[in-house]
Structure 1
Amino acid sequence: MHIHRDDYKFESEVVLFINGQFPQKIPQLTHFQKIYCTDGAYKSLKAKGIQPDVVSGDFDSIAITEISSEVKIIETPDQNATDFEKALRLIIEDGFKSVSVFGCSGLEQDHFLGNLTSMLKHKNEIEIRCFDDFGFYFFAENETVIEGFKNETLSLYPFPDAKQVTSEGVKYPLYKEDLNIISRIGTRNTITQKTARVSFDEGNLLLFIQDQLKNS
C-alpha cells in the first residue's frame, strides 16, 4: 500500500457518506465514479447541494418520499448489520475495490466502534479509507509506505494485535515489536521524513494519519 499526500483522497473509486460527524470540508467529488450515502447522511448532503447516485439503508432516518426521484434507492432492512456495513456490501457487489468514507467517526461513539468492526470485516474485499476533519485512518496492509506527511502525527493502533511491527521515518521507530490493544499501542508518533514505512507480519493494524494541511 502506498499513501501519497498529493493524491490520497482520490485514489478511491467511489465515495460513501454515512451518518457520523459531517466534515467541514470535502474533496471535489467529480474525482469519484459514484457517490453513495446512507439514509441518515442524505439530509446533510442535500444541505450542501450534493446529490448522491445511490442512497441505501432501512430508512428509519428519512422517508423515501423525501429523496429525489433521480437518486437510486436501495432498501436494506436487515437489522443484523449496520447501514455502513450494508452500504459496503452494495459497493463490493457493484464491483468496486476502493472507497473513501466520510462520517465514519464523531457523534455517537458506539457507532464509531461498530464502524471499525465493519471495516475490519471487509478489509480484504475492498480498500476502505475513512476521513474526518483531523485526517484519515485505515487498516494497513503488511507493507505500507506513507509519503509527503512529514511533521504530521502517525498513530498505530492494534486491533487487537499486530505482530512484529516495524516503523521507519518516525520520531520513535519500532523494530519487529508486538503491539496489543491492552499491553502496548503506538499512538501519537511524529513522521520525521518525507517517506515513512510501516510493516508487520500478522494481525490487524489501524493507521491514523493527521493532515493539518486539510483545514488550512
Structure 2
Amino acid sequence: MQRNTALLFVNGEPPKFYPNNLDSYTYIAATDGAYHNYLINSPIIPNFIIGDLDSFDNSLTIPKQIEIIHTPDQNKTDFEKAILFLADKSVTTFDIYGACGHASDHFLGNISVAMKYYHRFQITFYDNYCHFFFAKRYQKMTNVKNRIISLMPLSKVTGLTITGFQYPLTKQTLSLGGSVSLRNKIISDLAKISFKNGDLIVFIEDLRNVN
C-alpha cells in the first residue's frame, strides 16, 4: 500500500471501469450522492461516506464498516469537503472518479475545487474517456506513448514548451479565448511539459475506449 493516497468517488457519470488496485489506497471514500447513485451497486465498500447527506437514504442498509461523515457546511461542495476531510488524515494524493458528466455546472465546480488545491495535493481525475490533471510547472509523463493529449489553459499560460509530442511547442502562450492545444499526440516514451505561469489542465485519452 502506498501511504497517504485516497480513491474518491463523486456524484457525476458512473464509471464504466473501476480501479483494480484497491489495496494500493490508504482510504476509499465517496460523497453521499456518489455512494447512493452508483457505488452502492459495485463491490467497492468505502471507508467513508462524506457530505451533507442530502442524498442519504435511511432506508438502505449501509455496511457497518463504513463511517458516515456528516459535513453540513453549505459554503463548500461535498467534493471539497471530502478533500479536506481526507487531507486531515494526511492524504496528499487523490484519484477522483465520477467528477464528470451529468450536470455541467457540477463538473466545472469540481475543476474549480481542484484548481484551488492542486498546488498542495496531487489530484488526478478519471472519467470514461480519459484522465486529466493540473500540470506542474515542470511535468514529465511516461507510459502514454501514442495517446491523444490536449492542453487546456484555465488562466493565461506563458512560456509553454512541450517535447515528445507530434506537434511540439516552444515558449508559446495559451489562453481561453485565444490559442489552446487540442488533440495532439504523444510520440515518445518520455513527454515533457514546462511553462512559466498559469493554470494548465492536461487531458490524456484512456486506451480502453479507443476503437
- Normalising to structure 2: TM-score of the pair? 0.92
Alignment deviations for residues 131-183 of structure 1 (CA, whole Å, 9 cap, x no partner): 01112000010111111211111111111211110001111111011110111
Q: Which whole-Å CA distance do the structure 2 matches of 1:94 and 1:20 have between them?
A: 25
Q: Which whole-Å CA distance do the structure 2 matches of 1:101 and 1:110 have between them?
A: 17
Alignment deviations for residues 63-100 of structure 1 (CA, whole Å, 9 cap, x no partner): 35633332111111111111111111111111111010
Q: In 2, are the aligned partners of 1:133 and 1:215 still within 8 Å (CA)?
A: no
Aligned length in residues: 207
Residue in structure 1 matching 2:123, options 115, 128, 134: 128
Alignment deviations for residues 108-149 of structure 1 (CA, whole Å, 9 cap, x no partner): 111000100000001122110000111200001011111121
Q: In 1, are the aligned partners of 2:4 and 2:26 still within 8 Å (CA)?
A: no
Q: Which whole-Å CA distance do the structure 1 matches of 2:23 and 2:111 have between them?
A: 27
**% identical equivalent positions:** 34
Q: Which whole-Å CA distance do the structure 2 matches of 1:152 and 1:86 have between them?
A: 33
Task: Determine if the alignment matches structure 1 residue 47 to structure 2 residue 41.
Answer: yes
- Normalising to structure 1: TM-score of the pair? 0.90
Distance 1:151 1:109, change over 3 A: same
Q: Which whole-Å CA distance do the structure 2 matches of 1:213 and 1:170 have between them?
A: 21
Task: Determine if the alignment matches structure 1 residue 69 to structure 2 residue 64.
Answer: yes
Equivalent residue number for residue 137 of structure 1: 132
Equivalent residue number for residue 87 of structure 1: 82
Equivalent residue number for residue 30 of structure 1: 23
Gaps of 5+ in 2: none
- 1:11 deviates by 9.4
- 1:45 deviates by 1.4
Q: Letter of the 1:150 partner, please give it.
A: K
